[in-house]
Amino acid sequence: MVDHTTVLIAGAGPAGLVLANLLRAEGVDTLVVERATREQVQTRARAGYLAPNSARVLAEHGLGAGLLHKGQTHGVCAFRGEDGEFELDYSRLGRGGAHTVYPQQDLVTDLVAEYLGRGGDIRFGVTVTGVDPRTATIRYRGERGGEDVVTGRFLAGCDGGHGATRKAVPARRYRQDHGVSWLAVLVEAPQSMAAVTYAVHDDGFAGHMARSPEVTRYYLQVPPGDDPRDWTDDRIWAALGTRLRIDDFGRLKQGPVLERRLVRLRSEVADPIQHDRLFLAGDAASLISPSAAKGANLAIMEAEVLARALVQALRGDERPLAAYSRTCLPRVWRAQEFSRWMIDLLHPPADDFHRALRRARLDGLRECRAHQNAFAENYVGI
């Protein structure tokens, strides 16, 4: 069976679903293929910090109903260390702006429902067996077996860092393994602090991030290669207590651990992120460490840029589409630079010299308005 569409999209994550919805709103025929089941894409717990620009994109295009109804606004973060704790109200610094906390699985659920309600087509549970950028074609096997073919005028690769489309783009790939691993922990307990909290400690980094009134995300730096199953609930809470310095700042609200998984802090950027009729967005275009909550926000930014360029191309002007890589990559690199800055700030230094540098950075954030403004603009911006 061979199907035809105008824009074929691989991947039903934030990048692919935002792109699909924006194109459907412009009357463009689209088809999405996704290797996971619908249940899997709607229950994958991922980052939930949306920057002001991401919230704007969703709201302007009728995709923000759930976000506006259930999202929580967060504009303050805190840093804890041997010199105590200080808070930054980053929503009032720089150009201003706060994050909206909305779990990614809830956002994806909203986007799937909206896209299907707009007449879109998603084929879940497929395995891509071939990608041809010249003809915007994907070959895939469905759940029933047998190979199907879908072609489009354009192909958007939004199928993640391990997807098939990124391999079809002959690009230079910049890679960095930061040598750091986090244990990402989701607990059934209300947040213990009002602010997002970053704790620097000689034992390793610990982080506290709200997710919902009933669920909180914690991060613990662990040795690379650790097995998450070796981290029992008691061991997790003991390490969090030490690094978040509960003797100084009060006990944590505890609850059962719902999820624990290892996150290796790595970065990768492809240049260019387009080839023939294929255009990459989201993790297929670049991977970024979670140290600064940029992944989903980059995906939404790229989806908006690509949607506009595709619409203009379909109307006869392909210049914005030809410039897609040049438009997006400078923002990707600025996000990568800030992510690397956060990695250097949060994790134990290798020696006394770098330990003194980290203290100087924290002192700058604590005391210098210019440093605070620069942090705020990078923290919420792309």
- From the candidates 198, 218, 219, 324, which is the catalytic residue? 198
Q: Are 311 and 30 in contact (CB under 8 A)?
A: no
Among 61, 69, 71, smallest CA distance to 18 is for 61
The CA distance from 267 to 316, in Å, is 36
Look up residue 121 and give its two tokens: 């087509």
- From the candidates 275, 294, 324, 347, which is the catalytic residue? 294
Residue 290 among the catalytic residues:
yes
- From the candidates 49, 52, 74, 218, which is the catalytic residue? 74
The CA distance from 54 to 191, in Å, is 24
Element (H, E) at 129: strand 127-132
- Distance between alpha carbon 308 and the CA centroid of its chain, in Å? 21
Label the pairing between strands 257-271 and 196-199.
unpaired
- From the candidates 102, 140, 324, 379, which is the catalytic residue? 379
- From the candidates 99, 115, 290, 347, which is the catalytic residue? 290
Q: What is the CA radius of gyration of the chain?
A: 21
Residue 379 among the catalytic residues:
yes
What amino acid is encoded at 85 in this protein? E
Residue 74 among the catalytic residues:
yes
Write the CB contacts of 280 (distance below 8 Å, at least 6 apart in sequence): 156, 157, 158, 165, 166, 169, 270, 273, 274
Instruction: Report, as residue numbers or ranges, the catalytic residues.
Output: 74, 198, 290, 294, 379
